[in-house]
A and B are shown apart, each in its own frame.
Chain A
Amino acid sequence: MSGFPWQSAFEIREEVAAGSVSAVEVTRAYLARAEELNPALACFLTIDHEGALAAAAQVDRERAAGDELGPLAGVPVAVKDNLCTRGVRTTCASKILDEYIPPYDAHVVEALRASGAVILGKTNLDEFAMGSSNENSAFANVHNPWALDRAPGGSSGGSAAATAAGLAPLALGSDTGGSVRQPAAFCGITAIKPTYGRVSRYGLVAFASSLDQVGPMARSVREASRLLEVVAGHDRRDATSAERDRGNYDAACDRGVKGLRVGVVRDLLDGLQDADVRASIEAALGALEQQGATLVDVRLPHAKHAVSVYYLIATAEASSNLARFDGIRYGLRVPGKDLTETYTRTRAEGFGPEVRRRIMLGTYALSAGYYDAFYLKAQRVRTLIRRDYDTAFERCDVVCTPTTPTPAFALGEKTSDPLEMYLADIFTLPPSLAGLPAISTPSGLSTGGLPIGLQLVAAPFEEEALCSAAQAVEDQCGLLSRRPAALP
């Protein structure tokens, strides 16, 4: 097996298909690497040796029988632990689901299995995907492979760190307000937040249902594009699943950017405090222009309100979705003297501080007397944010911003001030509120050697434009040849 552990998903599939290595051998090598590095990185909450080796053996049997192999045959994938896997513990990094074993697979997990992918295990996250640093996991802090004292980002921090550290070429995360893009930026990899409805949410444990999307993560744009192709498509078990063709993202990577109009939000770029991030984005814009793209100025005047809008809408939806965790049908039960006390004690002991805070905020925003002033108002401002993009897309095909205002912050740096943590989400929230597809891909390293992420946003169902543009950025500014500095 050549190039382990940095070979691409395409190379692994090719070698497995050619028979120069077996899927079982590939899987054993990645499982051993996961066991070796997980104590330092805490990417995985569960490593599923048995399931992974069984899936790999199945691929090897199919190959021996001369069957046509799937698009990810023999490729190891890490799956965020809020995606249901039948028979494998799915915790959402919460004590309330510590021992929960789903009786069914999420749609995207079914799609992975059908593609021949090998699911190595379940990755760490902020509890119920609520957080931007992975420090809200009830079990362990994930460490950034580029600098172990830095946050990997969140909430899909385990998936991002695993991919960056060469524990798997591909991973799935989920994105409600930036949860695949922000950790991808912090860990120097690529992640796609698809258009709302592009990927089925069936079997994704709900956080904020009008925002949640499953997203692919990989070291290269092309691999992330391939993974999107595998998991996208209509699924009638999700009523918001769009009836659309799944798209051809892999091919979009070859299309180039000649004639592509890239929107630049000038006042936002000029307002960046971090000089490295600013310089990196400017350089990437220059690279796009050099390859034939046209830069046009656009404005997003209401984007600055996205933090308020998001943290009202997402918490309101979360307070409703998380009502199901009551100690009756699954998960933890802490008995009280009556039913109400059983509920309150179960929820107080089962949920961590950030989840409780968001349930409180959301319940408040929906409660009698405050609904109009908070929840409804947020939904009205959401319209203004959406209209900003409508106007921008009259002039451009993709809107470019940084993914985050700074490179990875230190573990512990923002944990004492929840508002400070929320404010760092300013660039990833607006497209989420508008339901738009977005990609984060590395645009370079900071002077301190930390990855910087560039975000591109497109009109609904225009993911192919994101893949073309991100590929151009990767070609000139990417980090594919760089290895995370903190790895042994």
Chain B
Amino acid sequence: MADPKITLEQVLHVAKLARLSLSEEEAGQMQEQLDAILGYMEGLDELDVSEVPPTFHSIPMDAPMRPDVPERCSDRAETLAQAPASEAGGYAVPLVLEVDS
């Protein structure tokens, strides 16, 4: 069997980068599926595109500027109503830093 395009170890590394937890079974299946997809994508190797510029924007346009005028932003209560948890007019989040008192 040919070398896999992506190993289980790489899958777990990418999952960590993407902040996704995968069970052992899910990681195995993900490895198989990504391997098949990346194998198909090897078809791009038949093209030499080293001299071809990339197209990041299909339709050329300039970044527009607008006058720097303050505007009313969204309603705080309406926006915070969508938060999983809020407190004192802000988002309530899990503890990020342990601080010695």
Contact surface of A with B, Cβ cutoff 8 Å: 100-104, 195-197, 210-211, 236, 239-240, 242-243, 302, 305, 307-309, 311-312, 319, 323, 326-333, 335-336, 338-345, 347-348, 351, 356-357, 359-361, 363-364, 367, 374, 376-384, 386, 417-419, 422, 433-436, 460
Contacts and interface: CB of A to CB of B under 8 A. Distances in A.
Given A308-B41, A319-B18, A367-B14, A339 B95 contact: yes
Interface of B is mostly: loop
A419 B36 CA distance: 7
Nearest to B50: A380
B79 interface: yes
25 contacts: A100-B82, A103-B78, A103-B79, A103-B81, A211-B58, A302-B47, A323-B19, A329-B83, A329-B91, A330-B82, A330-B84, A335-B94, A341-B21, A347-B20, A348-B20, A359-B18, A360-B11, A360-B15, A364-B14, A364-B34, A367-B14, A382-B54, A386-B58, A419-B36, A419-B37
B43 A308 contact: yes
B1 interface: no
Given A361-B37, A418-B36, 6 more contacts: A197-B59, A239-B63, A240-B57, A242-B61, A339-B94, A345-B21
B55 to A, nearest CB: 4
Given A104-B74, A338-B95, A347-B19, A329 B82 contact: yes
B93 interface: yes
A239 B49 CA distance: 30
B77 to A, nearest CB: 9
Contacts of A240: 57, 59, 61
The 9 closest A-B CB pairs, nearest first, are: A435-B58, A379-B54, A333-B84, A380-B49, A344-B21, A330-B82, A103-B78, A363-B18, A308-B41
B20 A386 contact: no
A356 B96 CA distance: 25
Contact of A384 (B49, B74, B82): B49
Contacts of A377: 44, 49
Contacts of A342: 94
A436 B53 CA distance: 19
A417 B39 CA distance: 14
Given A240-B61, A332-B84, A360 B55 contact: no
Interface string B20-35: 1110000000100110
Interface in B73-89: 74-75, 78-79, 81-85
Contacts of B20: 344, 347-348, 351, 356, 359-360
B75 A103 contact: yes
Contacts of A312: 41
A360 B40 contact: no
A376 B34 contact: no
B43 A305 contact: yes
Given A103-B78, A305-B47, A422-B37, A340 B19 contact: yes
Most A CB within 10 A of own CB, among B34, B37, B38: B37
Contact of B55 (A311, A382, A422): A382
Given A359-B18, A360-B18, A328 B84 contact: yes
A379 B56 contact: yes
B99 interface: no
A383 B59 contact: no
Contact of A435 (B49, B59, B64, B91): B59
Contacts of B8: none
A348 B36 contact: no
B85 to A, nearest CB: 7
A360 B44 contact: no
Contacts of A211: 58
B29 to A, nearest CB: 9
B2 interface: no
B58 A381 contact: no
B92 to A, nearest CB: 9
A378 B49 CA distance: 9
A332 B85 CA distance: 10
A378 B94 contact: no
Contact of B19 (A236, A243, A343, A422): A343
A196 B59 contact: yes
B65 to A, nearest CB: 10
